[in-house]
């Protein structure tokens, strides 16, 4: 694992120490890692929101909405390990069992 040395004034170090204890972290390093992961999560959310807004601004979808949802369900199921189940009427439904 790579290391990173951070120099900070005493008041910031005191703050980090207090937050480490209050947050239940074993070390200041764990606290800083947590902050970085939270920043990564927020950045991913910002990116997702930007992509969503881009899609909304792109106009109306062309094609059949039912077909779109079938493709979306298939995409999600393939990536999550879920199987599609066909009902008696020939329509596919999403199974909540792992395959």
pLDDT tens for residues 21-42? 999 999 999 999 999 999 999 9
The single residue listed with the structure tokens 């997702």 is 48
Q: Residue 73: count other Cβ atoms within 10 Å of its Cβ.
A: 15
- pLDDT tens digit sequence for 9-23: 999 999 999 999 999
pLDDT of residue 27: 97
Is the alpha carbon torsion for 45, 51, 57, 59 positive or negative?
Answer: negative
Nearest-5° angle of CA 42, CA 36, CA 13? 130
Alpha carbon of residue 16 to chain centroid: 27
């Amino acid at each position: 694992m790579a290391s990173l040395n951070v120099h900070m004034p005493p008041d910031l170090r005191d703050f980090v120490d207090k937050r480490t204890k209050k947050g239940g972290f074993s070390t200041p390093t764990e606290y800083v890692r947590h902050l970085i992961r939270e920043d990564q999560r927020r950045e991913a959310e910002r990116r997702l929101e930007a992509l969503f807004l881009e899609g909304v601004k792109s106009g109306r979808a062309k094609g059949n909405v039912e077909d779109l949802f079938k493709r979306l369900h298939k995409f999600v199921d393939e990536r999550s390990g879920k199987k599609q189940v066909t009902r008696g009427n020939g329509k596919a439904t999403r199974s909540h069992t792992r395959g």
